[in-house]
């Protein structure tokens, strides 16, 4: 073969190599877009995996404490009375700096009955009291209507 054949083969090889290189070169914006889409895909897969694990594995994402705070009231500058629920019982405790004192231990059903009785007494809710209050309100309304008719 002569030199021109070698030159022709070399030119074809360089042309093919440069065409392949031109196809693989991407713009900077395209590279950033590819990277962003990859990051979004990876984060989405991680989020989906966390959601599946939260649904399938018992105890994950739920309240782990056996003690629930029902309520509390401040009785001093740094003292509080707290009601805690532990295993269907209410514990009434006094909390002060460096000290917690048990004040009462009540079953939940008993506590609801005591609370309801206290509310009824405080509001004076009984069928007789409701009937008498309605009766007096009705008489007052009737008297106002009679006064307005005569005036």
Provide the token pair at 73: 């009231």
Which residues have C-beta within 8 Å of that of residue 70, sequence separation ≥ 6?
83, 84, 85, 90
Distance CA 32, CA 79 (A): 59
Which residues have C-beta within 8 Å of that of residue 114, sequence separation ≥ 6?
106
- Contact in structure between 111 and 90 (CB atoms under 8 Å): yes
Confidence of residue 23 (pLDDT cuts 50, 70, 90): low
Give domain limits for the chain.
1-64, 67-108
SS3 content of the chain, % helix, strand, coil (to 5): 60, 20, 20
The 10s digit of each residue's pLDDT in 48-71 is 998 888 888 766 555 667 888 888
Say whether pTM exceeds 0.75. no
The 10s digit of each residue's pLDDT in 73-131 is 888 888 889 888 888 788 889 999 999 988 888 777 766 666 667 766 666 666 666 67
The candidate with the shortest Cα–Cα distance to 132, out of 122, 124, 143, is 124
Confidence of residue 16 (pLDDT cuts 50, 70, 90): low
| More confident site: 27 or 129 | 27
């Amino acid at each position: 073969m002569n030199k021109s054949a070698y030159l022709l083969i070399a030119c074809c090889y360089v042309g093919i190599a440069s065409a392949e290189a031109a196809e693989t070169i991407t713009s900077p914006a395209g590279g950033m877009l590819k990277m962003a889409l990859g990051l979004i895909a990876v984060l989405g897969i991680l989020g989906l995996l966390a959601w599946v694990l939260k649904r399938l594995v018992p105890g994950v994402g739920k309240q782990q404490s056996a003690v629930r705070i029902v309520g509390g009231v401040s009785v001093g500058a740094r003292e509080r009375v707290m009601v805690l629920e532990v295993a269907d019982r209410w514990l009434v405790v006094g909390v002060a700096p460096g000290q917690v004192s048990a004040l009462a231990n009540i079953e939940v059903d008993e506590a609801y009955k005591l609370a309801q009785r206290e509310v009824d007494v405080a509001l004076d809710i009984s069928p007789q009291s409701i009937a008498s209050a309605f009766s007096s309100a009705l008489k007052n309304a009737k008297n106002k209507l009679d006064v307005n008719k005569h005036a």
